[in-house]
Amino acid sequence: MHAGEPPLSAIDRVHHRDRLGPAAGECPDRLADPTLDSVESIFAEFRRRLRYTLPSKARFAAELLLREALTNAVIHGSGANPAMSVHCAIRMRDRKLIIAVADGGPGFDWHSQSGQTADSASCSGRGLEIFRKFATRVRFSARGNLVTLVKDFKEGLTP
């Protein structure tokens, strides 16, 4: 721990209640809504907090998971409704990162997609695969509009 850096528990209860408007970033033709920029504002803080806490490989995995969860909630969860909000809670405790992201959308049928892998030549559909490859545990609510990702960094953190 470096002097001046907040202790691990400081990232506990980081709670964003941002209003994230409509967005569409489907490959290849639709343009993403500028409200994806509001996701970006979270990451400067996220990187700053994790800089001295995790080695670069673990930081990359943590940020990638958070990005996929938030982008998914903005693009697919919130659809075209600017009144929707996305809720995000991030906790880091005992070298275990827990990310929970909820959107106000109708959810999606994660049962039918849980085992699928995108065709490697396809230009979309990689978000879930990234969850499965980079998270220790992935859970969806029954409705499919809340995802909880757990990344356990206890293993593989020794230099």
Partner 1 sequence: MTEQLKNSVVTWNDRNAIVRPAGDVVAAQVPELRSTLRDALARGVQEMTIDFSEVEMVDSTGLGLLISAHNSISKAGGRLAVIHASQEILELFRSMRIHQHFPVSQRGGTASGVEQ
Task: Write down the least CB distance from residue 131 to partner 1, Å.
Answer: 10
Q: Which stretch binds partner 1 (CB under 8 A): 5-13, 102-110, 117-125, 142-150?
A: 117-125
Q: How many residues at the interface with partner 1, by CB under 8 A?
A: 30
Among 8, 12, 18, 32, binds partner 1 (CB under 8 A): 32
Helix 56-72 to helix 36-50 angle (10° resolution) is 160
* Contact between 83 and partner 1 per CB under 8 A: no
CA 39 from centre of chain: 10
Tell which phi-psi region holds residue 71, choosing left (phi > 0), alpha (psi between -120 and 50) or beta: alpha
Burial of 88 (0-12, 13-18, 19+ CB in 10 A): buried
By CB under 8 A, the residues from 41 to 70 that bind partner 1 are 56-57, 60, 63-64, 67-68
Among 124, 137, 139, 141, binds partner 1 (CB under 8 A): 124
Angle subtended at Cα 13 by Cα 10 and Cα 16, rounded to the nearest 5 degrees = 115
* Contact between 149 and partner 1 per CB under 8 A: no
Yes or no: say if 72 and 125 are a contact pair by the CB < 8 Å rule. Answer: no
Q: Where are the alpha helices (DSSP H) in the chain?
A: 36-50, 56-72, 110-113, 127-134
* Contact between 71 and partner 1 per CB under 8 A: yes
By CB under 8 A, the residues from 127 to 146 that bind partner 1 are 127, 129-130, 133
Task: Write down the least CB distance from residue 9 to partner 1, Å.
Answer: 26
Tell me which residues touch partner 1 (CB under 8 A). 25, 27-28, 31-32, 34, 36-37, 39-40, 56-57, 60, 63-64, 67-68, 71, 74-75, 120-124, 126-127, 129-130, 133
